[in-house]
């Protein structure tokens, strides 16, 4: 980005000083450890108050800072200070201004599972014909979405923005902030069911992504999900569907998955073979969502085919890695819920190997009153004829361990508490041989990414 500080001030309804016309802002940052020269520092007020780190931001190259007006002490005098009533609201307001200034087409993506993968696939498809900017990592909330917007280059033609949700009203706000031209809902699962109670209520919350959808925009949904197709009838914009059922606008056929990739056909283009470098039929539906968006923007099918075959996937989403000893690791440790675990387990059990298949599962969080039951029920998806060893981490996974002992030998089941990852890692390293394959999946709060790091 590039804006003069005076423009930033006017966007925030602050009277601009004359000298601010000569101060260029080339980035926006709320983390003083990642500050760059020419940055505007945004000291967010949370458990760790960002105002404490303004001096560090100045030392890192910040040329201006916002300052929340209820902080009357230690106001810096070595750089320009823009007083605001709430620094988070100001960040969002500035993001809205910059979005209107650059004026790209906006594709917003949400869903209980698959939104990050779909975001990556969609961005790759659209990048074959447009200058595309996409959400980095997990910048998908009230802070992350405006930061994603503000990190756009001025020549951005399409913004692909991921939107997360864990409460009512969140997607309503994000959708109205970004005002998407296309909104995508990948699927409805059990993620955050602790807060919503039922999948039906989760679907209601996901449909909030349409609240800012432009009047002439399109809604792309999983047409295999009755909760979505029923609620989409209330939307005035055009609705496009994808899935496995014949009545979908984008329907998958002939899905074949092997150790590292999945191929499929689409009824729309039956002569074209698509391939994604990911295992699991469930990832085909993420690809169908991306193809649906590509079709809206008239991307030639051969370009979409090439894009899906080589897109860059955000780290820790069904990612194959190699351990130090040569063992193959399937890392999927960013988030977890029962639907996602069952899907990746089924795909993993089909992967051929000359060694053992080992799984490492951590607690699935935010499942509410039925959490114990949902963990225990995962036992149905774990086949002792296909899985040789099971490592479980977290209090809730104790319920699964108890159930698995009914069909596995005691020596095959290993259970650890969340604060004992070091022991889990050590025991896993001692078992893991070079020709083995291992799957790791958990909610991010369990931090199995630390186990992955130690293995590789």
**Cβ–Cβ under 8 Å, residues 345 and 381:** yes
Q: Are residues 302 and 442 in the same domain?
A: no
pLDDT digits 0-9 by tens, 94-129: 999 999 999 999 999 999 888 999 999 999 999 999
More confident residue, 333 or 221: 221
The b-or-e profile of 65-89 (16+ CB within 10 A means b, else e) is bbbbeebeeeebeebbebebeebbe
Which pLDDT value is given to residue 190?
A: 72
Total tally of structural domains belonging to the chain: 3
Burial class from Cβ neighbours inside 10 Å (0-12, 13-18, 19+) for residue 312 reads: exposed
Residues 300 and 376 in one domain: no
What are the tens digits of pLDDT across the range 342-383?
Answer: 999 999 999 999 999 999 999 998 888 889 999 999 999 999
Q: What is the CATH number of the domain that holds 109?
A: 3.40.1190.10
Q: Are 195 and 177 in contact (CB under 8 A)?
A: no
Specify the 3-state DSSP secondary structure of 343: helix
Name the E strands within 146-214.
158-162, 182-185
At 194 the pLDDT is 65
pLDDT tens readout for residues 199-236: 889 999 999 999 999 999 999 999 999 999 999 999 99
Residue 263 annotated in ligand binding? no
Q: pLDDT band at residue 40, thresholds of 50, 70 and 90?
A: very high
Q: Does the annotation flag 114 for ligand binding?
A: yes
Q: Is 115 annotated as a binding residue?
A: yes
Residues 157 and 46 in one domain: no
Is 85 annotated to bind a ligand? Reply is no
Other CB atoms within 10 Å distance of the CB of residue 223:
23
Residues 165 and 192 in one domain: yes
Residues 6+ apart with CB under 8 A from 48: none
Q: Answer yes or no: is pLDDT of 193 > 90.
A: no
pLDDT value, residue 367: 87
Is 318 known to sit in a ligand binding site? no
Q: What is the CATH number of the domain that holds 416?
A: 3.90.190.20
- 434 Cβ partners below 8 Å, 6+ apart? 325, 326, 327, 355
For the chain, what is the mean pLDDT?
94
Pick the last residue of a domain from 289, 310, 331: 310
| CA separation, residue 76 to residues 23, 48, 51, 57 (Å) | 17, 19, 10, 11
Residues 167 and 73 in one domain: no
Are 78 and 204 in the same domain?
Answer: no
């Amino acid at each position: 980005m590039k804006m003069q500080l005076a423009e930033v001030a006017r966007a925030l309804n602050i009277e601009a000083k004359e000298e601010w016309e000569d101060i260029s802002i080339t980035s926006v940052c709320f983390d003083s450890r990642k500050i760059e020269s020419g940055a505007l520092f945004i000291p967010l007020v949370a458990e760790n108050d960002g105002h404490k780190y303004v001096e560090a931001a100045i030392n890192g190259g910040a040329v201006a800072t916002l300052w929340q007006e209820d902080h009357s002490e230690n106001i810096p005098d070595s750089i320009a200070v823009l007083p605001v009533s709430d620094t988070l609201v100001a960040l969002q307001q500035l993001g809205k201004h910059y979005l209107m200034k650059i004026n790209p087409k906006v594709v917003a993506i949400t869903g209980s599972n698959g939104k990050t993968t779909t975001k990556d696939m969609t961005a790759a498809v659209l990048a074959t014909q447009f200058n595309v900017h996409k959400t980095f990592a997990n910048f998908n909330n009230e802070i992350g979405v405006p930061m994603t917007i503000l990190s756009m280059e001025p020549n951005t033609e399409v913004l692909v923005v991921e939107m997360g949700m864990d409460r009512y009203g969140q997607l309503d706000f994000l959708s109205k902030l970004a005002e998407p031209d296309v909104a995508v809902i990948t699927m409805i699962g059990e993620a955050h069911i602790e807060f919503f109670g039922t999948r039906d209520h989760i679907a209601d919350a996901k449909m909030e992504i349409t609240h800012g959808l432009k009047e002439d925009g399109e809604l792309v949904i999983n047409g295999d999900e009755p909760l979505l197709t029923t609620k989409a009838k209330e939307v005035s914009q055009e609705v496009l569907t994808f899935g496995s059922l014949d009545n979908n606008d984008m329907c998958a056929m002939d899905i074949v998955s092997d150790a590292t990739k999945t191929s499929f056909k689409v009824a729309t283009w039956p002569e074209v073979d698509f391939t994604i470098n990911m295992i699991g039929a469930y990832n085909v539906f993420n690809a169908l969502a991306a193809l649906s968006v590509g079709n809206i923007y008239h991307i030639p099918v051969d370009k979409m085919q090439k894009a899906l075959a080589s897109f860059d996937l955000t780290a820790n989403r069904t990612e194959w890695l190699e351990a130090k000893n040569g063992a193959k690791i399937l890392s999927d440790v960013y988030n977890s819920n029962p639907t996602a675990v069952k899907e990746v387990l089924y795909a993993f059990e089909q992967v051929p190997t000359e060694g053992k298949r080992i799984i490492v599962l951590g607690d699935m969080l935010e499942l509410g009153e039925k959490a114990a039951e949902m963990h225990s029920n995962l036992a149905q998806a774990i086949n002792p004829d296909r899985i040789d060893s099971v490592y479980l981490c977290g209090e809730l996974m104790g319920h699964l361990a108890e159930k698995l002992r009914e069909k596995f030998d005691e020596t095959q089941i290993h259970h650890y508490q969340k604060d004992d990852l070091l022991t889990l890692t050590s025991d896993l390293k001692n078992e893991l041989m070079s020709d083995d394959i291992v799957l790791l999946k958990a909610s991010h709060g369990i931090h199995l990414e630390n186990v992955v790091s130690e293995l590789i």
